[in-house]
Structure 1
Amino acid sequence: MVKIKISEKRNPIPQQVSIGENITLTTWGTIKVNKSHFFPSSFQLKIDDKVIYIDPVGVENTEKADYILITHAHPDHFSFKDIKNLLNAETRIVCSKGVSKKLSDVKNQIQIVKPKEQLQFEKFSIQATFAYNTKSVFLWIKAHPKSKENVGYIITLKNGFSIYHAGDTDYINEIKELSDIDVALVPIGGDNLTMNTEEAAEIINKIKPEIVIPMHYEIKNHEELNRFETLINKKTRVIKLD
């Protein structure tokens, strides 16, 4: 069984960066997955007065959520404890069908999405994207098979500014079709779970966002993190968090 807890190596101060006009991104940093100290795919976005969480795990000192987006049901992305702490009566949860099965207690607040579907809200739209593995963990078994319909998300504001959270995915054909991305959050951990450093750099250099934030990697791999930065086109700003 996978055990998730707060890492003793976590930065005690939540890290917050501005990624656009009236848009801030916050991470609470490193979690411990079994024995590995791991920078997760968990973020808070504040867009004007709206609070959005993506894959909240190990979130501390929380503001209640207007929206919670979950990419898939693996425990480093899905924490019912964190979700309950963030909910109020008005919170909307956007997730795949697989995640929704674990949220029966709050099913009236759930919007199920499949890849390519788009939801329209007052201040922005949310598009679900494909997120799956082409590589196998063992024989034909994949950690994130396409049949599960796991997702990433593109959040697009009324002015066209867009933020892409890739979820757990390899460098797949559907990602090559993305365009007009301003901020990209991409996994670099590899190990048959996600795209690796080189693959992540390749897709970023293809879609050319203004900002990229690497995620989903063991924090001991600082050499890989630094190498990712060297591989990125100089027109894209790399923000490294821990």
Structure 2
Amino acid sequence: MEIQKLNWAGVKLISNGKTILIDAAEDFSYYKPVLGDAVEQVMQFSDHVQADYILFTHMHLDHFDKGVIRKCLKKEGKLIVYKGLEAVVRKILDEVEIIVLDLNETFTENNMTFKPVFAMDGVGEIQSSWIVDDGETKIFHGGDTIWHNQFWKLGKENKDIDYAFLPVNGVVVNFEIIGLEYSPVPASLNLKEAFAAAHLLHAEKLVPIHYGLFAHEKCYIPQLFDENDLKKVSEEIGQEYMVLKDGEVLTEA
């Protein structure tokens, strides 16, 4: 399996000649009032990527980019959707083939298996995490989940996870602009929580996602960290990790 990190939480997988996109987004303009401007160049990939399968963890527009889906999904491609999101997705994208899966239900095709599993969204929206397995490499993608009590169970029920892609920015949000009261409690995993979650998932390595690209002094305040923090928490938890920059390809998988 070839793994490439895209923007923010996006990941591209290539296996058995098939391309899979998860949480692939390149247009963040809708959220500029709360996310602010990207602090670095946003990677543009949709012009040269054709996907056989597209997955997303939830409907927030920094994870669900309908423009990318319409542009990148092959004519014969499949949008794989968690059942809890089926109704709203069909209203937006009724022209594409949709495979609907309930939590822990699997879909297997071209020697690849896809499975949505439990997650908790930071502001109460419907969200799932995803497990993708090609028989040689198994990845877990956690969108922007918060800490929850199912990581132990997920680790027991899903053996041999190689890479856990988990959010690490522990962001505090103030979304009063869209009617949500302020809360000082982080709306995504922070660094220590992500390492602990990867450890409970028995993942060979944590791959941090959902950090670094956005910050807004009033509305979107992320936890900041550096390489020393990564090393310190890794040693403390006993969990290995690997940092992939946007656009970087992991070929050892």
Given that 1:144 and 1:168 are in contact with CA atoms closer than 8 Å, whether structure 2 keeps it comes out as no
Out of 59, 65, 84, the residue aligned to residue 70 of structure 2 is: 84
Write out per-residue CA displacement over residues 49-101 of structure 1, whole angstroms, 9 at most, x where no aligned residue: 11000011014243211000011100000111111110222111012342652
C-alpha distance 120-42 of structure 1, shift in aligned 2 (>3 A)? same
**Secondary structure of residue in 1 paired with 2:74:** coil
**Alpha-carbon shift at residue 107 of structure 1 (Å):** 5.0
1:222 offset after TM fit, Å? 9.0
Aligned residues: 198
1:27 aligns with 2:5: yes
Does the 8 Å CA contact 2:199/2:239 hold for their aligned counterparts? Answer: no
The structural deviation recorded for 1:180 is: 1.9
Partner of 1:129: 117
Contact residue 22 and residue 55 of structure 2 kept, 8 A: yes
Query: 2:105 is matched with which residue?
Result: 117
Please name the residue that 1:56 is paired with: 24
Contact 2:6 2:24 in 1 (8 A): no
Secondary structure of the residue aligned to 1:232 is helix
SS where residue 132 of structure 2 aligns?
strand
Matched, 1:231 2:208: no
Q: 229-238 or 78-87, which moves further after superposition?
A: 229-238
> 5+ residue gaps in structure 2?
27-43, 173-185, 216-221, 247-253
Code of the aligned partner of 1:176: W
Residues 119 and 125 in structure 1, CA contact (< 8 A), matched pair in contact too:
yes
Shift of 1:182: 0.7
The one-letter amino acid paired with 2:3 is L
In structure 2, relative to structure 1, the CA distance for the partners of 1:185 and 1:202 (3 Å cut) is: same
Change beyond 3 A, Cα 1:25–1:128: same
Letter of the 1:238 counterpart: M
In structure 1, C-alpha distance between the alignment counterparts of 2:239 and 2:189, rounded to whole Å = 22
Question: Unmatched 5+ residue regions in structure 1?
Answer: 1-22, 30-39, 134-141
Identity of aligned residues (%): 22
2:214 is aligned with 1:210: no
Per the alignment, do residues 225 and 241 of structure 1 end up closer, same or farther by CA in structure 2, a change over 3 Å counting? farther
CA contact (8 A) 1:72 1:99 kept: no
TM-score (norm 2): 0.70
Where relative contact order (Cα < 8 A, 6+ residues apart) is larger, the structure is: 2
Label 1:156 to 1:168 Cα distance change in 2 as closer, same or farther (>3 A): same
| Contact 2:78–2:99 under 8 Å retained in 1 | yes
Q: CA RMSD in A?
A: 2.4
The TM-score with structure 1 as length reference comes to: 0.73
